[in-house]
Amino acid sequence: MHADATLTPNAQSVVMPRWTVAAVAELLARPFADLLFDAQRVHRANHASNAVQLSTLVSVKTGGCSEDCGYCPQAARFHTGVDNEAMLDVEAVVTAARAAKDAGATRFCMGAAWRGPKQRDLEPVLAMVREVKALGMETCATLGMLKDGQADQLREAGLDYYNHNLDTAPEFYGQIVSTRAYEDRLATLERVRGAGIHVCCGGIVGMGETRLQRAGLIAQLASLDPYPESVPINHLVQVEGTPLHAALHGESALDPLEFVRTIAVARITMPRTMVRLSAGRRELGEAVQALCFLAGANSIFYGDRLLTTGNPDVDADRALFSKLGMVPLASTA
Q: Which positions lie near ligand SAM, rule CB under 6 A? A: 71-72, 74, 111, 113-114, 142, 144, 164-165, 167, 204, 234, 236-237, 239, 279, 307
Neighbours of 90 (CB within 10 A): 18
Q: How far is the CB of 215 from ligand SF4 (least distance, A)?
A: 23
Sign of the CA dihedral with 301 first, then 99, 157, and 308 last: positive
Q: Which of 72, 191, 214, 261 is catalytic?
A: 72
What separation, in Å, do the N-terminal and C-terminal C-alpha atoms of the chain show?
28
Annotation marks residue 201 as catalytic? no
Which residue type is seen at 72?
C
Tell me how far apart the alpha carbons of residues 133 and 161 are, in angstroms, rounded to a whole number: 12
Q: How far is the CB of 273 from ligand SF4 (least distance, A)?
A: 22
Annotation marks residue 65 as catalytic? yes
Q: Among 110, 263, 306, 326, which residue interacts with ligand DTB (rule: CB under 6 A)?
A: 306
Q: Which of 30, 107, 185, 200 is catalytic?
A: 200
The entry of ligand SAM, ligand DTB, ligand SF4, none near residue 75 (CB within 5 to 8 angstroms by kind) is ligand SF4
| Binding site residues, ligand SF4, CB under 6 A | 65, 67, 69, 72, 74-75, 113, 115, 144
Comparing CA positions, the residue from 215, 179, 185, 213 lying closest to residue 199 is 185
Cis upstream peptide for 9 (omega within 30°):
no
Q: How far is the CB of 204 from ligand SF4 (least distance, A)?
A: 10
Q: Which of 185, 261, 267, 276 is catalytic?
A: 276
Annotation marks residue 109 as catalytic? yes
Which residue type is seen at 199?
V
Phi, psi of 278 (to 5 degrees): -110, -125
Annotation marks residue 292 as catalytic? no
Q: How far is the CB of 294 from ligand SF4 (least distance, A)?
A: 30
Neighbours of 85 (CB within 10 A): 14
Q: Is-contact 202 276, C-beta < 8 A? A: yes
As annotated, the active-site residues are 65, 69, 72, 109, 140, 200, 276
Which residues contact ligand DTB (rule: CB under 6 A)?
57, 73, 111, 142, 163, 165, 202, 232, 234, 237, 278-279, 306-309
